[in-house]
Chains A and B, each alone.
Chain A
Amino acid sequence: MNIAKLKPYFLSLSALLLVLSAFSILKWGFLPSIDFAGGSVWQINLPSRPDNEKIHQIFDQNQIPLVSLSVQSDDYLLKFSAVDQDQKTLLDSQFQTLDPDFNETRFETLGPSLGRELLKKTIWAILLSSLTLFIFIGRRFKDRAFGLCAVLAMFHDTFILIGSFSLLGHFFGAELDTLFVTAILTTLSASVHDTVVTFDRIRELRFRHLNLNWADLANQAVSETLVRSINNSMTIIFMLLSLAVLGGDTTRWFAIALLVGAILGTYSSLGVAVPLLLIFKKKK
């Protein structure tokens, strides 16, 4: 695989994806779950299947704005603003009257301040991971350029993952929640994981063939690790795909986020990290 020759194509593809992500984030933003925006989610079972009208009435009476109501046979999923315990108790008793067999499956409520906190902590975690990995990889390879390229590729993956969820949110209703934060942080590590394996091969080849230039080294290293990278991605993709398809609604978007992250991680190790390294080495 001639990575030096393919470099412009890879970098333009990445640039395109980055621009698309930025566009989607700026234009459509995100669909934050209550983890970020605050609010309540209430999943209940009403065997008597009352009209949606009646449910709207209860919420109107209590002056609680009902954001959304979706019904699947006798399972009702309600989203509304954050409520305190008194309001919740009131709702409980009114639904009990509406349907004596009323049964609660899930209830979550939280204020908006917690979401900001979560966001802040996530950014901190990303920064701290990047810094630590930059230092670690720089030291392991005795070359700061390696650390920098690995971390840049990692940012690339993270940004596109976030962008893709802006798109998925706009078109398919994917929400950003705590699990998504976990997916981002996993992508960080998966991205670096693949990059390190490729870099490691470059380092090894350098010791063996002192006469090769950086472009040849990179070509050979990528060719030699390509099968491994693809095979490895396949196994992770098998696991995540089965989770996305069979794992149920609660986990579908999480699995998809991890899947996108895993694919990006594999792509960026040879499509971003290595080309960037070549650019750095050319300048010197």
Chain B
Amino acid sequence: MTIINFGYKKTKKSIFLIFLIGLVCLYLNLFSILNLSRFIASPRLTPPALKYGLDLAGGASLVYQVDVSSVPAEALSSALEALKGNIEQRVNLFGLSEANVQTSTQADSYRLIVELPGIDNLNQAIDLIGQTAQLRFMGETAISAEATATATFADVFSQDTGLTGSHLIRSSVQINSQNSEPEVLLEFNSTGSDLFKTATEKFLNQRIAIFLDDFPITFPTVQSVISDGRAVINGNFDTQSAKSLSAQLNAGALPLSVNLIQQHRLGATLGQDTIRKGLVAGAVGLFLVCLFMVGNYGWLGLIADVGLLVYSLITLSLYRLIPVTITFPGLVGFILSVGMAVDSNILIFERFREEIRTGKDWHQALELAFGRAWDSIKDANICTIITALILFNPLNWQFLNSSGMVRGFAVTLLLGILVGLFTGVFVTRNLLRFFYRRQS
């Protein structure tokens, strides 16, 4: 507990900094409201939009149980990876670029979580996602010149080789020893090797297309007859594209069936209603708090209210920049953190009054109040940070929650506390020093 002697110059610098931060945050948040894109066209100067979670924007969240019994344990991770990639691709076919697909492990059970914004054609999407991946190998057919123009991909590759995903043991990426370029390796089982040998004989110097769920994923030209069941696809791969092809092949080679065990769907209207009501509630609550602070602490309270405004602006800007997906529990976390930010101010002001009562002059009392209240503020906020971290579960511990709801709450609470510490200690303090210079 030291009395910090501050220079007026330093305060002025800090005030300038606060003003600057406030201005930047105002720009970030008012851009879309004032429709500034009319004047500022550069995308680099356009602030990112707020992202809303499914519970506010509407959409569907689907949880699938993955049946892993058909896949040997050592191939499990590549099978899950392949499944995820495959489902992502299927979802993208629906034009849902914002969709999010992730796998999660719970003790011995494996889950696939698919989040789809918007719920048009959801039943179709669910049907498509639920299908087990199918891999087929189709040989090229010679097509007459006049038919070529109208021929579809399936017409060109219409000769079934009889090979399917079940004949493929697995696919992996390897590096060619001669040109050090990545290539994709396919390993067939014994039936598969025989079928593949026949196919490579029949389609030598022609192309064989590989279809995953009726979509062609690659169509290499057969360069030699392969009888040992180990085929290599090469040519112009970078590591990324080789990996993604290999994953697609694995989706067919190590097929996992999935079973829908949970779904949440929310129409956009309900979400908008929640946002509107939440905002009204937040505004009314905030107004009451501001009023209470002014009523109780006079000018001090008003300055704290300005600090609170800066706090709200900074938090909203961080939501845009990080970005934080705002869910309903997230909004509540924000409201709660406002409460805690106000608490820091109350602690300081009560302390300030105490110091004044003991006969200290205004400057001393203010600095003492900040110094002494800081201990309590710090300890109390660390406790909240601990809980918020356990809720957020950053290390994805399996025995703790990692659901979007709880996480959405934890992230805004955590962010709110950190920003609250900054504004309570830096912003409000300097504002007080600058504007509230009543000499005793």
For B336, the chain A residues whose CB sits under 8 A away are 186, 190, 236, 239, 258
Tell me if A178 and B386 are in contact (CB < 8 A). no
Task: State which of A43, A113, A121, A197 has its C-beta within 8 Å of the C-beta of B401.
Answer: A121
Chain B residues positioned under 8 Å from A179 (CB to CB): 329, 405
Q: Are A200 and B289 in contact (CB-based, < 8 A)?
A: no
Is B269 part of the contact surface with A, judged by Cβ < 8 Å?
A: yes
Instruction: Select from chain A the residue with minimum beta-carbon distance to B109.
Output: A113
Residue of A nearest to B409 (CB): A182
B270-326 contacts to A (CB < 8 Å): 270, 273-274, 277-278, 280-282, 284-286, 288-289, 292-293, 296
B390→A125 contact, CB < 8 A: yes
Measured CA separation A106–B59 after assembly (Å): 9
State in angstroms the CA–CA spacing of A277 and B119 once bound together.
55
Are A228 and B346 neighbours in the complex by a CB distance under 8 Å? yes
Partner of A238, one of B288, B332, B340, B347: B288
Binding stretch for chain A, among B34-42, B178-186, B377-385? B377-385
Closest to A243 in B: B281
User: 1/0 per position for B366-400, CB-CB distance to A under 8 A?
Assistant: 00000010011001111110111011000000011
Distance (Å) between the CB of A44 and the closest chain B CB? 10
A54 at the interface (CB under 8 A from B): no
Query: Which residue from chain A places its CB closest to the CB of B130 in the assembled complex?
Result: A85
**A198 to chain B: closest residue by CB:** B376
Q: Given the complex, which residues of A lie within 8 Å of B342, measured CB to CB?
A: 232, 235
B277 touches A185 (CB 8 A): no
Hey, which chain A residues are within 8 Å of B405, CB to CB? 178-179, 182
- Alpha-carbon separation in the docked complex, A182 to B403 (Å): 11
User: In the complex the two chains form, is B350's CB within 8 Å of A239's CB?
Assistant: no
Q: B125 to chain A: closest CB distance in Å?
A: 11
| A15-58 interface bits toward B, Cβ cutoff 8 Å, 1 = contact, 0 = none | 00000000000000000000000000001000000000000000
Whether, in the assembled complex, B261 has its beta carbon less than 8 Å from a beta carbon of chain A, the answer is yes
A169 close to chain B: CB less than 8 A: no
Known: A106-B266, A182-B406, A250-B328. A117 touches B106 (CB 8 A): yes
A179–B265 Cα distance when bound, in Å, is 17
Which range holds the interface residue count of chain B? 35 or more
**In A38-85, which residues have CB < 8 Å from any B CB?**
43, 84-85
Is B28 interfacial (CB-CB < 8 Å)?
no
Determine if A188 is an interface residue (Cβ-Cβ < 8 Å): yes
Given the interface pairs A128-B400, A235-B342, A238-B292, the reply to whether A106 lies near B270 with Cβ below 8 Å is yes
Cβ-based interface call for A210 (8 A): no
Q: Does A129 contact B (CB under 8 A)?
A: yes
Q: Is A204 an interface residue (CB 8 A)?
A: yes
Interface-side segment among A5-13, A131-139, A211-219: A131-139
| Count of A interface residues, CB-CB < 8 Å | 72
Q: DSSP class of B's interface residues: helix, strand, loop or mixed?
A: helix
Residues in B neighbouring A181, C-beta threshold 8 A: 401, 406
Assembly CA distance A118 to B63 (angstroms): 14
Q: Does A224 contact B (CB under 8 A)?
A: yes
A201 touches B399 (CB 8 A): no
| Contact between chains at B292 and A136 (CB < 8 Å) | no
> Once bound together, how far apart are the Cα atoms of A281 and B391, in whole Å?
33
B273 — which chain A residues lie within 8 A by C-beta?
A: 248
CA distance A247 to B328 in the complex (A): 11
Residue of A108, A120, A200, A232 near B265 (CB, 8 A) is A108
Assembled-state Cα–Cα distance A232/B336 (Å)? 12
Determine the distance from Cα of A78 to Cα of B383 in the docked complex, in whole angstroms: 41
Q: A110-B63, A182-B405, A224-B354 are in contact. Are A85 and B126 (CB under 8 A)?
A: yes
What is the CA–CA distance of A106 and B265 in the complex, to the nearest angstrom? 5
Taking a contact as CB atoms under 8 Å apart, the answer to whether B274 and A197 are in contact is no
Chain B residues with CB under 8 Å of A128's CB are 390, 400
- A125:B263 contact, CB within 8 angstroms: no
- The answer for the CA separation of A175 and B397 in the assembled complex, in Å, is 28
Query: Is the CB of A234 closer than 8 A to any CB of chain B?
Result: yes
Q: Is the Cβ of A140 less than 8 Å from the Cβ of B285?
A: no
Chain A contacts with B in 215-263, Cβ cutoff 8 A: 224-225, 227-228, 231-232, 234-236, 238-243, 245-248, 250-251, 254-255, 258
Residue of A88, A178, A189, A255 most packed against chain B (CB within 10 A): A189
Cα A125 to Cα B393 with chains together (Å): 10
A101 within 8 A of B: no
Instruction: Tell me if A193 counts as interface (CB < 8 A to partner B).
Output: yes
List residues 186-206 of chain A with CB under 8 A from any CB of chain B.
186, 188-190, 192-194, 196-197, 200-201, 204
From residue B30, how far is it (CB to closest CB) to chain A in Å?
24
Does the CB pair B400–A85 fall under 8 Å? no
A136 with B328: CB separation less than 8 A: no
Q: Is B260 an interface residue (CB 8 A)?
A: yes
Q: Is the CB–CB distance between A132 and B270 below 8 Å?
A: no
Q: How long is the Cα–Cα vector from A105 to B119 in the complex, in angstroms? A: 10
A191 to chain B, nearest CB (A): 9
Q: Bound complex: CA of A188 vs CA of B388, how far in Å?
A: 10
Q: Which of A115-130 contact B (CB under 8 A)?
A: 117-118, 120-122, 124-125, 128-129
Contact A239 B339 (CB under 8 A): yes
Q: Beyond A133-B386, A228-B346, list 4 extra A-B contacts (CB 8 Å).
A: A103-B267, A197-B376, A224-B354, A246-B281
Task: List 24 A-B pairs, Cβ < 8 Å.
Answer: A85-B123, A85-B127, A107-B264, A110-B263, A132-B386, A178-B406, A181-B406, A182-B332, A182-B409, A186-B387, A190-B384, A194-B380, A200-B375, A225-B350, A228-B346, A232-B346, A232-B347, A236-B339, A238-B285, A240-B285, A243-B278, A243-B285, A243-B332, A251-B328
Task: Give the 9 A-B CB pairs with smallest separation, nearest first.
Answer: A189-B387, A110-B262, A242-B285, A239-B285, A236-B339, A246-B281, A238-B288, A248-B277, A107-B265
